[in-house]
Amino acid sequence: MIRTLICSSILFGVVALIPANAGAKEPTAAENEGNHMERKGNAEEKGANADKARATNLEKKGKAMKAEGKESNDKSEEATGDHLQKKGKAKLKAADARADAGEGMEKAGNEVEKTGVTEKKAEAKASGR
């Protein structure tokens, strides 16, 4: 009895899933390209956010070293702290630019994907008449 239930439930599950994929059409080249650009933009943005975090930590470390150097009148430590602080600011600025580029890539991918969907709808409408 249990075997029959298991077999019938598996068979029913397979049969239930077949019609879901039967009507699906292949995505157009524009949709594929749009999805690719969007994924690439997301990855770029994620990487830039990680770089921002590292740059912020570097800047904080530089500030702390600079303050410690001023307290102890250690000019080399103060200079090193100042250098790290400037380096952190520069890296943060570069990471911001990279994040903006990734966001732009993501938006462009969305636009290309919309174009592909529009093309697909136009083809379906033309073949349907």
19-51 core/surface letters (b: 16 or more CB in 10 A; e: else): eeeeeeeeebebbebbbebbeebeebbeebeeb
Residue 1: strand, helix, or coil: coil
- How far are the Cα atoms of 54, 66, 76, 78, 83 from residue 73, in angstroms, in the given order? 28, 10, 9, 8, 17
pLDDT at 24: 57
Domain ranges of the chain: 41-108
Query: Per-residue pLDDT tens for 71-85?
Result: 999 999 999 999 999
Whole-prediction pTM value?
A: 0.67
Structure tokens at 110: 């969305």
Query: Per-residue pLDDT tens for 92-128?
Result: 999 999 999 999 999 999 999 898 888 888 888 888 7
Q: Given a cut of 60, is residue 22 above it in pLDDT?
A: no
Query: Per-residue pLDDT tens for 34-84?
Result: 899 999 999 999 999 999 999 999 999 999 999 999 999 999 999 999 999
Q: How many other CB atoms sit within 10 Å of the CB of residue 91?
A: 17
Q: What Rg value do the Cα atoms of the chain yield, rounded? A: 28
Q: Given a cut of 60, is residue 21 above it in pLDDT?
A: no
Helices 75-128 and 29-72 cross at an angle (nearest 10°) of 170
